[in-house]
């Protein structure tokens, strides 16, 4: 009789809750800069270049830290890597809170970027100690809390900075990260290492992947201001990094990312799907907030930052609930069903906002539906990937989905800005942007229709 191998241990709701609190705290700390860049520019005397650099430094650091954290977590154990990484994040948060000027703030943001790696490491832990079905729900909870924390940080950063100071908008979420890390240290058991310490590390692969990600992110942010030759140079540099990375990974004894993992249908389909819906989501976020604050001829609502924060509350609630709902739904019905319905809901909401945006509540409802659909889809893809690979691949596999999420959000935000600039922020440019976001989102149906129907896609 074949015996099913027993799990090494079990973790209870308190441990999963500690990981969820850490995700909330990290999400809040990650999101406080973007809505307050104009305020930081005024207080620190930054020009447009400094503001742009401040806005992209943390996402760049996050895209680099995420696959590194996933790889190390798979090899040495999730908790063993998570706690030191959170110490780095806390140091970065305190530096940002106490920063007297831009240079120290930039260093703090660079260190804070490690927080994105908390997600794949949390997934490594729950995947190792819970069954596949229970892991889906736990991953959904952690993912939803991270998104909810990000929304909360976006809402509260401006009021905290204005009523208290810019220092407190970094300090408060940093204190929360410290408290949550202590809870994780106490409640989460140490997961054993899966691979020997002398397995070697693919430093050339990490360097080339870093170069590719940095070039891509810089290209997105600088593209509108670059001439054709400079833009072509960036594209060629990106192609060279990618080609070099592929060549190195194919020959490495212990590659940073096994290309055979990327070639698996579940892996590349999840990544492409995540990228497309995050492009649509980021475009809608940018356009909605701009339209609320606009005061044009017959359009816009001239809303204050506080009013915009209130308008975003339903979307924050929807995004927070979407994680647990998506994890449980994916467990019962499979990733194809969740992703297909999520894509349809998001596309309909975006196209609806393109057609009808004459009242603020139209955008409130549309934004909430987009947030709900995004949370459902990203959670479904993450849980499917996490539970369809070996436990020793959980970290690196989920980190790939999370990196495509960051890249998709960055791409969508850039496209939204380009559209408004090209259309001089006219009403038609907003409608065109929503429509284009809906079309991009609808393309994801080409991926969902090829996915397996079963729960294990």
DSSP per position, 186-254: HHSPPPPPSS-GGG---HHHHHHHHHHHHHHHHHHHHGGGS-HHHHHHHHHHHHHHHHHHHHHHHH-SS
Q: How far apart are CA 172 and CA 232, in angstroms?
A: 43
Q: So what's the pLDDT on residue 352?
A: 93
The CATH-assigned architecture of domain 11-190 is Up-down Bundle (1.20)
C-alpha distances out from residue 245 to 45, 72, 203, 445, Å: 39, 19, 11, 30
Neighbouring C-beta atoms of residue 15, cutoff 10 Å: 22
Q: So what's the pLDDT on residue 193?
A: 65
- Residue owning tokens 């475009």: 283
SS (HEC) of 385-444: HHHHCCHHHHHHHHHHHHHHHHHHHHHHHHHHHHHHHHCCCCHHHHHHHHHHHHHHHHCC
- Residue owning tokens 């991926």: 447
Do the domains 11-190 and 259-457 sit in the same CATH topology, yes or no?
A: yes
Q: How far apart are CA 355 and CA 122, in angstroms?
A: 41
Our CA dihedral for 33, 37, 42, 44, rounded to 10 degrees, sits at 50
Q: So what's the pLDDT on residue 194?
A: 60
Domain locations in the chain? 11-190, 203-255, 259-457
pTM for this predicted structure: 0.79
Tokens, residue 349:
């909401």
Q: So what's the pLDDT on residue 351?
A: 94
Q: Cα-flanking dihedrals φ and ψ of residue 295, to 5°?
A: -140, 70
- Residues composing the chain: 457
Mean pLDDT by 10 residues, the chain (457 residues): 47 83 89 78 72 73 81 81 91 92 87 85 83 77 81 81 86 94 88 60 80 80 75 88 88 76 83 90 85 77 75 81 73 79 93 90 91 86 78 78 82 80 78 92 89 54
Contacts of 410 (CB under 8 A, 6+ apart): 56, 59, 217, 220, 221, 282
Q: So what's the pLDDT on residue 196?
A: 53
The CATH-assigned architecture of domain 259-457 is Up-down Bundle (1.20)
The whole-angstrom distance between residue 85's C-alpha and the CA centroid of its chain comes to: 17
Q: How far apart are CA 438 and CA 354, in angstroms?
A: 9
CA end-to-end span of the chain: 28
Give the distance between the most distant pair of CA atoms in the chain. 76
Instruction: Give the three-state DSSP class for 184.
Output: helix
Q: How far apart are CA 22 and CA 260, in angstroms?
A: 32
């Amino acid at each position: 009789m074949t015996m099913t191998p027993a799990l090494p241990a079990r973790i209870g709701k308190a441990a999963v809750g500690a990981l969820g609190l850490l995700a909330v705290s990290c999400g809040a700390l990650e999101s406080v800069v973007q809505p307050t860049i104009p305020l930081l520019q005024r207080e620190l005397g930054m020009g447009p270049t400094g503001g742009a650099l401040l806005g992209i430094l943390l996402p760049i650091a996050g895209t680099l830290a995420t696959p590194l954290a996933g790889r190390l977590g798979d090899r040495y154990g999730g908790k063993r890597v998570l706690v030191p990484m959170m110490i780095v994040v806390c140091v970065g948060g305190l530096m940002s809170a106490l920063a007297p000027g831009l240079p120290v703030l930039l260093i703090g943001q660079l260190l804070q970027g490690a927080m994105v790696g908390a997600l794949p490491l949390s997934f490594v832990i729950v995947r190792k100690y819970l069954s596949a079905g229970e892991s889906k729900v736990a991953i959904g909870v952690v993912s939803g809390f991270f998104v909810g924390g990000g929304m909360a940080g976006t809402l509260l950063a401006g009021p905290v900075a204005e009523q208290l100071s810019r220092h407190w908008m970094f300090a408060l979420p940093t204190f929360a990260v410290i408290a949550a890390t202590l809870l994780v240290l106490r409640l989460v058991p140490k997961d054993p290492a899966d691979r020997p310490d002398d397995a070697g590390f693919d430093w050339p692969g990490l360097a080339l992947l870093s170069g590719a990600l940095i070039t891509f992110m810089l290209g997105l942010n600088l593209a509108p201001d670059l001439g054709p030759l400079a833009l072509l140079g960036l594209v060629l540099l990106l192609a060279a990094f990618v080609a070099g990375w592929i060549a190195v990974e194919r020959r490495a004894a212990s590659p940073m990312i096994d290309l055979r993992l990327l070639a698996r249908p579940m892996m590349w389909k999840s990544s492409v799907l995540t990228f497309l819906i995050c492009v649509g989501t980021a475009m809608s976020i940018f356009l909605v907030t701009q339209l609320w604050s606009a005061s044009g001829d017959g359009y816009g609502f001239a809303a204050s930052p506080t009013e915009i924060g209130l308008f975003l509350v339903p979307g924050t609630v929807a995004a927070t609930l979407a994680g647990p709902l998506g994890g449980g739904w994916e467990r019962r019905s499979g990733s194809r069903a969740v992703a297909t319905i999520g894509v349809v809901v998001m596309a309909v909401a975006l196209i609806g906002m393109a057609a009808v945006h004459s009242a603020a509540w139209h955008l409130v409802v549309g934004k909430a539906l987009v947030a709900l659909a995004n949370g459902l889809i990203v959670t479904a893809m993450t849980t499917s990937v996490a539970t369809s690979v070996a436990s020793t691949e959980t970290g690196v596999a989920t980190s790939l989905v999370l990196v495509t999420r960051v890249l998709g959000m960055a791409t969508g935000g850039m496209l939204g800005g380009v559209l408004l600039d090209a259309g001089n922020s006219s009403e038609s440019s907003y409608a065109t942007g929503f429509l284009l976001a809906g079309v991009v989102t609808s393309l994801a149906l080409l991926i969902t229709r090829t996915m397996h129907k079963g729960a294990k896609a």
